[in-house]
Structure 1
Amino acid sequence: MIAKIVKGQDFRGVVNYIFDRKKGTELLASDGLRTKNKETIIQSFVGQAELNPRLGKSVYHISLSFSAKDKELLSNELMAEVAKEYLGKMNICETQFLVARHFDKEHPHLHMIINRVDYHGKTISDRNDRHRSEKICKEITRKYGFYFAKGKEQVKVERLHEPDKTKYEIYNALKKYIPESGDWAELAMNLKEQGISIDFKTKGTTTEVQGVRFIKNGLSFNGSKIDRQFSFSKIDARLKQNVQEQIFSARKGDSLSTGFLRELLVQSQKQNYKDELHSKRKQIPRKKSKNKGLRRS
């Protein structure tokens, strides 16, 4: 089970989306709403939101998606139960909510509309909501025995929103090009073709590299935040391993000429990248020696 959280200020828009006839919508649960029709639902949400007019984004639109493998297991009753449990664990309580199931996709999924202005006019906190939500989804998935997707490769990147979309694009690029690269310069060239640049983090005022960041679409991510396997030390070790594997393969009789010609083709570009990195390192101020200026007696 995974959750997608969107915050906004237009109850009408999200209500109209959820009750679109093309979605085959079924209402599973609600609280504090007049559910006679779409208009009464909208009026209920808007009326309560006016208790706290200072809150700009009073709409919580949260979708819960399950694997298609769980389709036979997920009755409407179970999905309603899961939705309420999710809300409780997220500390979303004492407020209006609506839970509806859609049938327009292969995988089971539901949508929730929650009023971030509760019954007492107070704001439902959204602090660290995405981090908390991810943890809760894993807990619920384990509790009910739902299917766990195997790794990030199963994620449909085109359906994500920023910054997750860019983060997964970088993930996929690293998965593809790290095994194909012989060093950082070659990896940088391959990533550059995908609009991704590399920035190294150095130790203090030295040139010793301690970390790496990947930048795309104006967004920056530490390698280890994209995935633990993409920390600087782990990528560096893998690149060195690639070189050793190439040498071993050559010793077993593979043609050396192919690798040699390939090296000639990329050498000038690699050198340009190395020169650029060297130039950046030279700009880092060095600590002055405390012994400077002392004379020997």
Structure 2
Amino acid sequence: MIAKTSIGRSFKGCCAYNMQKVEMGQGQVLLSQGVRDYELRAMVADFTRQAKMNPELTRSVWHTAISFDPQDEARLQLKPELMNQVASEYLKGMGLDQSQYVVIQHQDTAHSHFHIIANRVASNGQSISDSHNYNRSEKLLREIEQKHSLTLMKEQGYRLSLEHLPERDRHRLEMRNEVRQSLERSTTSAELKADLAQRGIEVIVNRDQAGKARGLSFERVSQTDNGEEIKVAFKGSKLHQSLSLCHIQEQLLENGHKRALELSQQRELAKAQELTISLQNEEKRLKKGRGLSM
């Protein structure tokens, strides 16, 4: 994802641009808090009224536009609530959830994106810091990308570096990258298949005449440089030797052991916390009992 943030003085212009998209049927309000999101004049009045709680903060308009990578379009179509989740987590991560805001999705471009308009004057009258907002925003976006398995920014740059390659070689390297990502976060073959399916990649098990699995292939419908749809398919071992059937099975088993260990450690930590709380409660009860006996 890519985010562009600007800090300004006037809510009117920023709100007008985004609400115009809604009125023209080229956008929709996804989320809002503390403002009337159905009418431009009322929205501006609500923002302005709260901004006056902190007149020393002259640049109270926070505007961020967040764009998704084209490779995430299929997931956004299958799971439309994903955009709301990303917006909510970004608002919370930047501290904007403590104030008024409106999130508006634009639908006038090929790539999905939304705009956040927020008040830097929080609901308690305090200022929401814009210090180092670029670095904080970039760090937060990378965390959100990983959490929701969205295309990482470094991979977007990686794809751009492949543009000079022949189409089939580019498709091969892109698919290898995506299969590796899915394999890193999967512990079973079912998880791997489901994760890749969200990216439009189908896992095919190649079997011999006796029905025994001998290898894997990965297929997807892609587009040529001319915009024509084609089916792209590669054997796992042709993507990379680490993506052959036996290596994938070994990696899934290792991932499963790691996850089981993490869950065990979490359960032990929870038990320790419960025991600590229980002992503290017992100590309080005993102290209270001694006080009554006096």
Answer with 1 or 2: which has the greater Rg.
Answer: 1
State the TM-score, normalizing by the size of structure 1: 0.49
State the TM-score, normalizing by the size of structure 2: 0.50
Structure 1 or 2: more helix by fraction: 2
